[in-house]
Structure 1
Amino acid sequence: MASQSMKALGLLSGKKAIITGGAGGMGLSHARHLARLGADVAILDIDLEVAKRWDEPLDGPTVVDDIRSLGVDCIAVPVDLTSAAATDAAIEQVVSKWSAVDIVVNKAGGAVAPYDSSTATSTADENVHRIVNLNLISTINCCHAVAPYLRRPGASIINIGTVNADMEAPGAFELGPDGIRTNTLSPDYVKSARIVAQEKLRPGLTTDSLAWKIPMCRVGENQDISRVVEFLAGPLSGYVTGNNVRSIRFCHVAQPQALNRQTKLGFNRQGAMLNSPFIPRLVRKDKSSSCIDLQAVLIHNNERMGYVEVTVMHAIDQDNAVLKSVIVAFFA
């Protein structure tokens, strides 16, 4: 839910927002979030019934009714965003009703290739084209179609990306002189209804089992990402453009002044493992302790390394009790 202060200010009252892929999942979360802040919402999606298919609860019989229940206007346009002509027509339909657009959230797409054939070396050509079309071409088509209606200060384009990509924010330099901010938001693994429903296709890999990789020790929810959309869509990010805002997986730093004791740890690459084939078991050099569970840190087991030394810094209180242990360096 949006913060009470933002709601009280009506942060986005009167604004017109387009959400691609907004009929379900994270896209629907973004649509609801902007609606709660006062924005009218247009949903562009190839399947306007997707929320029902993934058993996502709606406040009303349709996604339009759901958004309108928040006190704003909502329209939904079924469209194949991989088609430039169809995207142009959909944007024209929205603009013919609203005359202008203030916010565009490009969320359409996702991990659409079969899980067992979606690695860099195994993805079939047809899936490569499908991924590129649904994730990249749809965004390009929407930006091309909507840019003429955004050319005024205060407008915002938000491209929802992924930590698996490394693109920044296309269009930032081109549209910046007109006062248009363009940023990419790249979430990590998010616990959406679709992801949870598909967990049965990934034996042994669930959203909860991935929590050890995340500093917050939990998998993100849709609303966690929507709060960043709130920041990028509103005036607080008025001088933020050309960025890829990422959800960072791993903890690497601590306050050095708070750390005053250290332990040297090491592991042999033939040793036992913790929780994952990528997590070596860490054992003190003097063998006096079993292992330390470094839950938020991933250390790659490089086959060229026979031994890796890790420095773990301990923050201690007046009674010499360890308050916090963090990795600050590791090396061969």
Structure 2
Amino acid sequence: MKVAIVTGGSRGIGRQVVRWLATEGFAVVVNYAANQDDADLAVKEVVEAGRRAIAVRADVADEVAVAALFDRAEQAYGGVDVVVHAAGRTVLAPIADLDLADLDDLLRVNVRGTFVVNQQAARRVRAGGAIINFSASAVALAAEGHGAYAASKGAVEAITLILARELRGRDVTVNTVAPGPTATDGMMDDRDDVAIAQLATQPPLQRLGTPEDIAEVVAFLAGPASRWVNGQVVRANGGIV
């Protein structure tokens, strides 16, 4: 039995990743930070489909909590084969105006959180497994207002490549998925119709991405067809960059 941990698995892209990995036969550990109801619903959906899943709360930037998350996965299912680190935070503001308290929180979740989760994954993922982080196409787009967010995701990309090299000989791949504008509930709720329409015109494919689009890329990177893809950033954005 293959086992996957999905951080941020209770909502948005993470929730769709949970669905896809469960469909691919993984037992899934759904990590969440605060919203237990959403996590329980994600688990219920998987279990009702005849698959295995549990929900485990953990702050991804807390090394003790993350170690306990991995312990729980090993206790429940015997090991860990895939780690999808989808948890993250978005803060958008011009560099001159950004509240430094917001910067500290952003870096704690996106940079320290990625480092802590990847540290445990590097120690525990079994041979033949995969570690999949989440960046954002904002790193390459370098749009105004995205300075702090893009910087945090640039750090994720650096961690990914270096960890891929450090796991030499382990038969564990490490890659990053960098979505473009994606129609998650959070994104749709934070923008008006005009802003959403403008975002949808950016890709040559002339639409927003969907959580399903991104989850399919993750499922590929988690599966056997991608074993020669390692240390890469897959920009799943419809051709924006």
Q: TM-score range by the shorter chain?
A: 0.7 to 0.9
Look up the SS of the partner of 1:178 in the other structure.
Answer: coil
Instruction: Please state which structure has a larger fraction of its residues in helix.
Output: 2
Asked whether 1:205 is paired with 2:195, we answer: yes
Asked whether 1:221 is paired with 2:210, we answer: yes
Q: Which runs of 4+ in 1 moved over 3 A?
A: 48-52, 248-252
- In structure 2, the residue matched to 1:29 is 16
In structure 1, what is the Cα distance between the partners aligned to 2:19 and 2:239? 30
Aligned residues of 1:25 and 1:51 also touching (Cα < 8 A): no
**Could you report, residue by residue, the CA deviation over 1:159-194 in whole angstroms, capped at 9, with x for unpaired residues?**
011112342524100113201100000000100011
1:48 Cα deviation after fit: 3.4
Match for residue 147 of structure 1 among 118, 122, 125: 122
Aligned residues of 1:21 and 1:106 also touching (Cα < 8 A): yes
1:38 Cα deviation after fit: 0.9
Q: How high is the sequence identity, in percent, across the aligned residues?
A: 27
How do residues 124-143 of structure 1 correspond to structure 2 at under 5 angstroms? 124-143=99-118
Look up the SS of the partner of 2:45 in the other structure.
Answer: helix
Asked whether 1:188 is paired with 2:180, we answer: yes
Aligned residues of 2:204 and 2:238 also touching (Cα < 8 A): yes
- In structure 2, the residue matched to 1:234 is 223
Aligned residues of 1:24 and 1:50 also touching (Cα < 8 A): no
- In structure 2, the residue matched to 1:159 is 133
- Structure number with larger C-alpha Rg: 1
Superposition RMSD on alpha carbons, in Å?
Answer: 2.0
TM-score calculated relative to the size of structure 1: 0.63
Aligned residues of 1:19 and 1:104 also touching (Cα < 8 A): yes
Aligned residues of 2:205 and 2:239 also touching (Cα < 8 A): no
In structure 2, what is the Cα distance between the partners aligned to 1:192 and 1:225? 11
Gaps of 5+ in 1: 1-13, 53-60, 253-332
Aligned residues: 223
Does the C-alpha gap of structure 1 residues 123 and 91 become closer, same or farther in structure 2, counting only changes over 3 Å? same
Report the AA paired with residue 12 of structure 2. Answer: G
TM-score calculated relative to the size of structure 2: 0.85
Does the C-alpha gap of structure 1 residues 123 and 66 become closer, same or farther in structure 2, counting only changes over 3 Å? same
- In structure 2, the residue matched to 1:259 is none
Asked whether 1:48 is paired with 2:22, we answer: no
**38-47 or 243-252, which moves further after superposition?**
243-252
Look up the SS of the partner of 2:5 in the other structure.
Answer: strand
Look up the SS of the partner of 1:91 in the other structure.
Answer: helix
Gaps of 5+ in 2: 140-153
Report the AA paired with residue 94 of structure 2. Answer: T
- In structure 2, the residue matched to 1:92 is 71
Look up the SS of the partner of 1:216 in the other structure.
Answer: coil
Aligned residues of 2:132 and 2:175 also touching (Cα < 8 A): yes
Look up the SS of the partner of 1:136 in the other structure.
Answer: helix
Give the structure, 1 or 2, with the largest relative contact order (CA under 8 Å, sep 6 or more): 2
- In structure 1, the residue matched to 2:49 is 70
1:250 Cα deviation after fit: 5.0
In structure 1, what is the Cα distance between the partners aligned to 2:115 and 2:73? 18
Asked whether 1:178 is paired with 2:170, we answer: yes
1:120 Cα deviation after fit: 3.1
1:244 Cα deviation after fit: 0.5
Aligned residues of 2:81 and 2:126 also touching (Cα < 8 A): no
Look up the SS of the partner of 2:96 in the other structure.
Answer: coil
